[in-house]
Structure 1
Amino acid sequence: MTTTSKESASDREILLVGPYGVLGTGVIDAVAANPAWRITTAARRPAPTYRTQTPPRHISVDLMDRDSTIKAFSNLDTVTDLVYAAYVEKPTMAETVAPNARMLTNTLEALAARNIPLKHIVLAGGAKSYGFSLGAFNAPAKETEPRLIAPIHYHQQEDIVAAWSSKNGATWTVLRPHLVMGPSLNSPMNLVTSLATYAAMSRELELPLRFPGRREGWNTLQETTDAELFGRATLWALDEDKARNEIFNVSNGDLYRWRQLWNELAVFYDLPVAEPLALSTVSEMSEKGPLWDSIVARYGLHATPYEQIANWHFVDWMLNFGEEVTLSTIKIRKAGFADCIDTHESFRRQLTKLRELRIIP
């Protein structure tokens, strides 16, 4: 890249919408490690108290409310780029489409009301585009896969961003990670915190660590994306001409099987491993709230309500998924992003970070 083809990062400021989910946290940490970038965050909730770093400038906003979003964003005259990682969960995929489209549309309309044009948008997508939420997968999935007929909110969001960018002179990148591992709470798709909670309670009950899924989930090849690696991919996409108006898969760069990765969790909590036994964590963990509260008190942890520390529906889905889930990352590597991390190292790092933040014992 020549210096004349783009502004330096120090001239640009990111508006990160959805900052403290598992994806947004990775972007914040990547910016903290790369001070050339400036960042403002926006969400309904304030920055969580468990994070030790000084939070970036934050705007409290309800993205469902068009007028308040326009009021909150229209005066952001120093923001040049948007990273959109907000997400609202609903009981069905069909119900998920409309509110997620509405939040994105309100965000973009608010930014269009400013005097300063937006330069680039990075939209966080995921493996649902390839059928993961349907229980099927055509692995290794490539970005050229045709869309599915099923109602998947990522499709509508991609169309919204592309149309808005064409109308307003911006460019865009869609990044599709899968199973992002990072520290966050009250996140509908955060597996590492849920598994750490499960292991901590197993230790408290003096039980071995038993994989609570089917044999197919124990043995199948899977893939994951480290939150901070996703953050670095986001900064790369904002600054790379080859990422303009493109969709990229992004992952750690290796594969894992739970029968291998499970040992990392056992070693972290110094637990023996028992034979896998399929059970519903939604059912079997439903009455463990008092046990979790006692663990929080005993170890002086951040006071996280039980309903926010784990998502047992997501645990059941992930540990029982019987098909190989791998995303081809040849496209993003050919475009110039070759960052990677060993998934076992990533898992250990994220567990350690959760302990340092006093979210888990």
Structure 2
Amino acid sequence: MANSHQPFVALIVGVTGMAGLSLAEALKSPNALGGPWKVYGSASRPIPTWFPSSLLDKYIAFDATDAGNTADTLTPISSEVTHVFWVAIQVRESEQVTVTVNATMLSNVLDVLKSGPGGNGTGSRLSHVTVQTGTQHYMGPIHNPTESGQGLEPHEPPFREDLPRLPYPNFYYALEDLLESYAPSLTYSVYRSSIIIGASSRSVYNALLTSAVYALICRYEGLPFRYPGSRYTWEHFCDMSDARVLAKQHIWAAVTPSAKNQAFNCTNGDMFT
């Protein structure tokens, strides 16, 4: 599905994480749907030394929680970007604060890119946003059970995309509502992954490599390899989402008309305890 007109221009927000790195690789692949793509990558800090900068046409560091810094940094490319791939996340001391921070970040970025260089919408090419969320959409605040109150339970698997929302604060819900508020001037897609496995030395959520390093330390110190997870994950089945699979799915939804304005679960399909 080659793009025969002006090339698509992607902005990956959160490019140094596992999903972001795989997105950059997939978008720069010769076989990328909609390609060839021009790719901007961004994160809140300067580009790390390990990141293969050849995957990006330009790296941009900015603070998406700061509306002024976001505008100053992104206005110069606001007439170019056609697609935003949102794989950024900030987790704070409570879910309600996390809701506010993450919704603010996405809103700041979209406001600049939709306004265009003139600040009035003239010249903006932004047409689609894909957002990475996860199975917490169905499970509620499993990382902080005290926020769930009494008598409220998560959905039981299998998780279907059309399951009703749970009555807990959840920043995933806030991001989806924000995307819908831009319709019909923007289309969107939401990807609900499970535990993401991929390559990134910067990701707090790199469960596979974190577990491997922990196992190596235990072996070196002669200590027992005790399960480092929560009771919930010990007692329940889990699955994982390969970051490379997620990247291809993000791109497919971004350029496929029949996939617009929908949420998709995306996992590898194999379960384990």
Structure 1-normalised TM-score? Answer: 0.64
Q: Which residue of 2 aligns with 1:223?
A: 239
Distance in 2 of aligned mates of 1:212 and 1:174? 30
Distance in 2 of aligned mates of 1:52 and 1:175? 25
- What displacement does 1:165 show? 3.4
- Alignment map for 1:118-129 (pairs within 5 Å): 118-129=126-137
Q: Which residue of 2 aligns with 1:147?
A: 165
- Alignment map for 1:145-224 (pairs within 5 Å): 145-166=163-184, 169-207=185-223, 209-212=225-228, 217-218=233-234, 220-224=236-240
The AA in structure 2 aligned to 1:44 is S
Give SS of 2:238's match.
Answer: coil
Give SS of 1:224's match.
Answer: strand
Kept in 1, the 8 Å contact 2:16–2:202? The answer is: no
Distance 1:212 1:117, change over 3 A: closer
The AA in structure 1 aligned to 2:180 is A
Distance 1:205 1:62, change over 3 A: same
Identity between Structure 1 and Structure 2 (%): 28
Distance in 1 of aligned mates of 2:7 and 2:181? 26
The Cα offsets for residues 327-349 of structure 1, whole Å up to 9 and x where unpaired, read as xxxxxxxxxxxxxxxxxxxxxxx
Higher strand share: 2
Q: Which residue of 1 aligns with 2:113?
A: 111
Distance in 2 of aligned mates of 1:198 and 1:79? 41
The Cα offsets for residues 28-72 of structure 1, whole Å up to 9 and x where unpaired, read as 222233462221012221222123452511112111111221121
> Which of 86, 89, 95 is residue 88 of structure 2 equivalent to?
86
Q: Which residue of 2 aligns with 1:48?
A: 48
Larger Rg: 1
CA RMSD of aligned residues (A): 2.3
Distance 1:187 1:231, change over 3 A: same
Distance in 2 of aligned mates of 1:31 and 1:219? 38
Kept in 1, the 8 Å contact 2:28–2:55? The answer is: no
Give SS of 1:125's match.
Answer: strand
Give SS of 2:141's match.
Answer: helix
Q: Which residue of 2 aligns with 1:357?
A: none
Structure 2-normalised TM-score? Answer: 0.83
- What displacement does 1:203 show? 2.4
- What displacement does 1:241 show? 1.3
Give SS of 1:70's match.
Answer: helix
- What displacement does 1:98 show? 0.4
Give unmatched runs, 5+ long, in structure 1. 258-361
- What displacement does 1:213 show? 5.3
Q: Does 1:23 align with 2:15?
A: no
Give unmatched runs, 5+ long, in structure 2. 117-122, 146-153
The AA in structure 1 aligned to 2:76 is N
The AA in structure 1 aligned to 2:136 is K
Q: Which residue of 2 aligns with 1:342?
A: none
Give SS of 1:133's match.
Answer: coil
Kept in 1, the 8 Å contact 2:12–2:42? The answer is: yes
> Which of 246, 262, 266 is residue 262 of structure 2 equivalent to?
246
Give SS of 1:33's match.
Answer: coil
Q: Does 1:130 align with 2:138?
A: yes
Give SS of 1:180's match.
Answer: strand
Give SS of 1:121's match.
Answer: strand
Q: Does 1:67 align with 2:63?
A: no
Number of matched residues?
Answer: 251
The Cα offsets for residues 272-322 of structure 1, whole Å up to 9 and x where unpaired, read as xxxxxxxxxxxxxxxxxxxxxxxxxxxxxxxxxxxxxxxxxxxxxxxxxxx
